[in-house]
Amino acid sequence: MSFIHKFRAWCWHWHQRLGVSSALLFVVIAVTGIMLNHTSALQLAKHQVNQTWLLEWYGLAKQQQTSFEMPAGLIRQQKQQVLLNNQFLASCDAPLVSAAPTVLGDVVACRDSLLVIGPDGQLLDVITADFGLPFPIEKMQQCQGNVLSMMVDNKTLLFDIESLSVLENAQPCSDVQYPLVETLMVEGDGLDWQKVIQDLHSGRFFGTLGVWLYDLATLALLFLSLSGFWLWYNRRGRRK
C-alpha cells in the first residue's frame, strides 16, 4: 500500500471521527454566532437572565432589595442608579430611603437628595443639599400637600419641596408613604443574555477548560476543512 493510500485512509478515519465528536460544539458555535450577529435585533443586552440555575452557574445570587411600589411603578436602586420600572431615572450616590406622594408629584428620598417624579414617570426635579435640603435623611413621609416630614439625625423636620425651605411651625401630618416592597433582585448589575451567548460562543461559559476545548474544536474544524478538501480533490483525481 502506497503512502498516499495510507494517508487517505488515515484522513478518512480521523475526518469521520473528529466530525462526529465535534459536531455538537460546531452547532453551538454556529447558532450563538448567528445570534451575536443579530444582537441588536434580538435585544440580547436588554433581556436579563432570571433562571436561578444559570445565575448560580455565574456565581450570582438573588438578594433582597428595597423597592417602593408607586402608582408610576416599582422604584428601586441598582448601585448609584435609581430605576423606575427598570428604566434609569436619576443618579443617587446614597441609599434609597423612602417614597411618598405629594401634590407636585411622587417623591423618592435617597439619604442625601430628593427626586420628584411627575405622574407620567418623568423626572421633575432633583433637590440636593445645594438647595437647602437637610440630610442625611433616615425616613421620609408626606405631611401635607408639598410638605414632607423627614427624620434627619433623629430629629423630625418639615421640608417644603416647592419653596425649598424647612418649616419652623409644626403642623399636623397625615404621614403618607408608599409601601416598602422587598423584592428578590440579582446582585450587582445582573446578567444579560448577550453575556451568556458571548460566553457560549467563546467557550468561557465552561471556564478555562471550555476555552481550551473550543481551541481544540477550532483546530478540528481546520483539519476537517483541509482533509475534506484533500479527500475530495484526491478522489476527483483518481476518477480522471
Partner 1 sequence: MLKKLSLLLSVMLLWSPQSYSQKGDFMSVPEFAEQVFGDISPWQTLWLNNDQKSQLSDALNRPFRQLRLRYMQESETTLWIFDEIGKELPITIGLAVNDQGIAALQILTYRESRGGEVRMAAFREQFLGASLIEDELDQPIDGITGATMSVWTVKRAATAALLCHQWVRGNAR
The contact set with partner 1 (CB under 8 A) reads 89-90, 118, 122-126, 128, 130-132, 163-164
* Residues in a beta bridge with 113: 128
To partner 1, the closest distance from the beta carbon of 127 in angstroms equals: 8
Please identify, using beta-carbon distances, which residue of 50 and 128 lies nearer to partner 1.
128
Please identify, using beta-carbon distances, which residue of 93 and 189 lies nearer to partner 1.
93
Please identify, using beta-carbon distances, which residue of 89 and 137 lies nearer to partner 1.
89
Residue 127 DSSP one-character state: E
Which residues lie closer than 8 Å to 101 by C-beta, 6 or more apart?
70, 71, 107, 142, 176, 178
Helical H runs in 45-192?
52-57
Find the largest Cα–Cα distance for the chain: 108
Count how many residues are written for the chain. Answer: 240
Please identify, using beta-carbon distances, which residue of 52 and 163 lies nearer to partner 1.
163
Residue 80 DSSP one-character state: T
Which residues lie closer than 8 Å to 109 by C-beta, 6 or more apart?
96, 97, 98, 99, 100, 115, 137, 140, 148, 150
Please identify, using beta-carbon distances, which residue of 119 and 207 lies nearer to partner 1.
119
To partner 1, the closest distance from the beta carbon of 29 in angstroms equals: 38
User: Omega before 136 cis (within 30°)?
Assistant: yes
Please identify, using beta-carbon distances, which residue of 118 and 228 lies nearer to partner 1.
118
Strands 123-128 and 113-117: antiparallel
The three cell numbers locating residue 41: 435585533
